[in-house]
Amino acid sequence: MLFQTILMEVIEDKRSILLMNDFLLTSSAIVAFLCLLYAAKNMEGRAKSAWLIMAIAMLFESFAEGTWAFIEVVLQEDPFPSVSDFGYLMFYPLFAAGIFLLPNAPLSPRERLGIILDSAIVIISAALVFWIFYFAPIVSSLNTITLELTISLAYSMMDIVLFVALIRLLLSKLDAPTITPALFLAAGMAAVLVADAVFCIQTQKGTYISGSHLDTIWISCNLFIALAGLLQANPYPFDPLKFLSRRIYSKSPLMAYLPYLGIGATFSLLIWGYEYSQAVNQSIIAACVGLVMGLMLVRQKIVFDERNQLLTTTLTEIEERKRVEKSLRESEQEKAAILGGLKNVAVEYLDPFMRLIWINDNLQESSGLHANEMRGACCYEAIFGRSEPCSGCTVAQAINMGASQEGDLITPDGRTWISRSSPLKDADGKITGVVHVLIDISARKSAERALKESERRLADIIEFLPDATFVVDKNGKVISWNRAIEKMTGVEAELILGKGDYEYSLPFYGERRPTLIDMAKGIDPKIDPEFEKKYENLKRDEENNSLVGEAYMPLQGKGDAYLLGSASALYDSNGDYWGAIESIRDITDRKRVEEELQRSKEMAESATRAKSEFLANMSHEIRTPMNAVIGLTELLMDEKDEKLTSAQRECVEMIRISGDTLLSIINNILDLTKIEANMEELEHRPIDVKGCIESSMDLVSGSVGDKRIKFSYKIEENVPQFIMGDPTRLCQILMNLLNNALKFTEQGEIAVSVSSTNLDGGGYEIHFAVKDTGIGIPEDKMSRLFRSFSQVDASTARKYGGTGLGLAISKKLTEMMNGRMWIESAVGVGSVFHFTIRADPIIGEPLDLSKLDSLYAHGKQKIKDLERSNSELNILLAEDNVVNQIVTKKMLSKLGYNADVASSGIEALKALEKKRYDLIFMDVQMPEMDGLEAAREIRRRWPEGGPKIIAVTASAFKGDQEMCLAAGMDGYIMKPTKIEAIREALQAVAKG
């Protein structure tokens, strides 16, 4: 506006000034309309309607300003009177209506009556002044009523309406948010009234000039109204405005005496303008003056009654306070007696200004001050030497809030108290004092801090555990969700903490359902059968009171994973259930490795089975021709001397030795294979230690030949004569070591020594040592011993021969007997092979060997008698190999028996249909129908009185004998078939 005023003084072109003023008037009116509309948009209820009506009023004002500028600038005509006057005249009543619709603050009946009287006094006085100084002169001076006069009078009437609205706005008790906008509305309305008054006077005198400084007042009016709208939409953007508005609308002397000022101004104008009042009926003036005086008397009566009531109330309050103070003094001794006896509790009684009135003995002792010394002083000054209340003081809070307050108070000496302050009030609700009770809880707080620190450390531990871990409380709400489980599930802790209703199962299953942690919450140790279907290897760890289970789980967004979960219930110090914890580990990689290992194991087992089947087939294919070689050799050796020349007998002997050697190699290979495949089982029966050594030496000494070697053995006294173990395998170890010593010793001695050590639990550790005086073994070559198919060096293998399996088999057999084998050797001196075995003692009386020998001789004679009496047995030989048929028949013939031959299982069944047989030698591997199937069929067809069946097989693997017996066979002999084995089988049949 200042800039506009300067431009009006500087610019000489009146048309430019007129154009500028019209533009500013129109634009400011539009801005005011938009601001009021914005205020209405942000209001609700009655306030919204009020501001919307004022916005509509400004819309008419904008229309009027725009049409005025168009007529004046574009048409270059006088815009008064014109259509723009319609917009101006509509502005006044609408704006006044919006003012009257503004919501008031709640008023008492006395306040409402006072406002009505004040408004009536001011409005009547103003109307009287308007009529005398404005309307009456115009009406009396003009002979005819013109359009210009009518519009001018209309403007004056609208000004009175706007003035009434202004008075209502100034005297009303408005809501707090409306106070500041109302200030600017009042300023805008006052500016309108001033501008309209000047406009009417200049129009009456014919001195009004469009584009004068009067336009500045109208522009300022629009800007005040626009600012009021903005302030209503955004209350109190500036503290100075807030302060100013509250100052103006508070009960200041100016607002209280506004009616008196209005009456005084009215009567002054009447006296000053006496000549103007001559044109008005004096009776009307007298009536108006009388009405105003009457209203003033009523108003004064109301004010007098208010002040009288205030005085009465004040005097009553003073008397009541004296009475309360007297009662308070009288009850001090009673309170002191009650509160003084409290131990470990500090009690103080204070007035509303926090001055000490009374303190109990405990507080006097702790502070070291007497009650008389502290009485009348503020508690914070007397006890703690402070100039202001302590932080968190509940006394100050109770006085300010008017209600009891409780909280923790930390005093300057560092102690923590439970502080409770209760205000004492009189009958009217006024605070007369405060009772302050303090309980020292420093020790408890220290314990709580220690507990919180412990809980924090525990939370930190859980947070940084490598396994995904979460904790739920007894209500099933998640209270801990560590980083590892955030990474596993992709769910951040803040999204799940505090949530229940199985929220923690959603990342794993995509649905709300119980999980392992819910099972741990129960007290019943029984596992829900439904969970057994959802978890693998579900088990309860009784020692740790936890549940452990594995399960495939569809992790959301990460695919399936194999998880290992461990859940446990948590209990408080009273043994009550507090919550549960579950840790989860992703073992998908481990499971994949296990599955791969399982597949590898199955492949290895398959390979082992294939190897076993291959070796079984190889054993069958090798032993079948060996059966013919060894069997025919034995038959030739049993021929009478005159049938063979010495050269022929030597050749046959060479064949026998070579066959036995080859059979020994085959047996070694098969033994090693069975041991490596864990297919070898040890027997557990009595062993005669001395007999085992002697029999082994007897068998080996027969191969000494031309070597000058002495055999000896020594058994220490602490060695038991009989032990429990596998005598066959023990003899095999001894024979392997003795044969090895014999092979590399040309002369000297081979000695066996045995010692024993008692073990805890009643067992023995038997130590064997086989010493020779052979060539010895270099130290750098010892590492090659005990390896399969290995010799010390190539030259030794060429000179002495051998496959290198004997020592390897012996070492493995020793380890199967829970022992070990090692060697001591020196080149050119000899070697000592050591081995140990673990054995159990014999339970019961030891055997008498002399009785065994007698029984053996008696049994042998009886067997010969049985052979002679049972030579007429009907025997069937089921064998597909022609050579083996010939060999076996010759052996049977040698023993005095005849046999029929069948080449397969089917032929054997057909032969049984035609003839009854007492004994069948059944080859296991035959075409069309093998021996096992044929045996089962025989037992099915002839369950009673059927023939005895002896299995004849080239297989030598674990389970072969059991398999034959399970098929219904009665005995088992292995190829190459020895005549002694056939004799024993026949003897068994003869006995049965």
* The predicted structure's pLDDT at residue 767: 95
Model pLDDT for residues 438-469, shown as the tens digit of each residue: 787 777 777 777 777 776 787 778 877 888 88
838 against 805, higher pLDDT? 838
pLDDT reading at 59 higher than 80: yes
pLDDT band at 249 (very low <50, low <70, confident <90, very high): very low
Tokens encoding 282: 């004096």
pLDDT reading at 437 higher than 50: yes
Whole-angstrom Cα distance, residue 532 to residue 517?
A: 14
Residue 432: phi, psi to the nearest 5?
Answer: -110, -15
Other Cβ atoms within 10 Å of 756 Cβ, number: 19
* The predicted structure's pLDDT at residue 851: 45
| 3-class state of residue 208 by DSSP | coil
What CA–CA distances, in Å, run from 614 to 24, 29, 366, 669, 924?
114, 112, 100, 13, 16
Whole-angstrom Cα distance, residue 538 to residue 530?
A: 11
* The predicted structure's pLDDT at residue 757: 92
* The predicted structure's pLDDT at residue 598: 86
* The predicted structure's pLDDT at residue 860: 47
Ramachandran sector of residue 168 (left: φ over 0; alpha: ψ -120 to 50; beta: rest): alpha
* The predicted structure's pLDDT at residue 130: 61
Give me the helix-helix angle, 646-676 and 806-816, nearest 10°: 40
Look at residues 684, 962, 955, 951 and name the one whose alpha carbon lies nearest to residue 837.
684
Tokens encoding 199: 């406009």
Tell me, letter by letter, the H, E, C secondary structure of 675-703: HHCCCCCCCCEEEEHHHHHHHHHHHHHCC
117 against 737, higher pLDDT? 737
Model pLDDT for residues 534-569, shown as the tens digit of each residue: 677 777 776 667 778 888 777 655 667 788 888 888
603 against 413, higher pLDDT? 603
pLDDT reading at 965 higher than 50: yes
| Lowest mean per-residue pLDDT among 661-670, 680-689, 858-867 | 858-867
CA torsion angle for 673, 676, 678, 682 (degrees, to 10)?
80
For residues 810-818, average pLDDT: 89
Amino acid, res. 219 = I
Fill in the DSSP letter of residue 554. Answer: E
819 against 558, higher pLDDT? 819
Fill in the DSSP letter of residue 844. Answer: S
- CB proximity list for 969: less than 8 A, separation 6 or greater: 922, 931, 935, 949, 950, 951
pLDDT reading at 600 higher than 70: yes
* The predicted structure's pLDDT at residue 542: 67
Contact 364, 370 (CB under 8 A): yes
| Lowest mean per-residue pLDDT among 273-282, 616-625, 782-791 | 273-282
Secondary structure of the chain: what % helix, strand, coil (to 5)?
60, 15, 25
| Lowest mean per-residue pLDDT among 21-30, 219-228, 837-846 | 837-846
Amino acid, res. 531 = F
Amino acid, res. 648 = Q
Q: What is the pTM of this model?
A: 0.37
Whole-angstrom Cα distance, residue 131 to residue 160?
A: 10
Provide the mean pLDDT of the chain: 75
Whole-angstrom Cα distance, residue 850 to residue 506?
A: 83
680-683 long-range contacts (CB < 8 A, ≥24 apart) are 680/816, 680/958, 681/958, 682/725, 682/726, 682/729, 682/816, 682/817, 683/725, 683/726, 683/727, 683/728, 683/729
For residues 139-158, average pLDDT: 65
* The predicted structure's pLDDT at residue 283: 63
Residue 585: phi, psi to the nearest 5?
Answer: -125, 130
Model pLDDT for residues 732-778, shown as the tens digit of each residue: 899 889 988 888 888 899 999 999 999 888 889 999 999 999 888 88
Contact 186, 249 (CB under 8 A): no
Tokens encoding 48: 């919204």
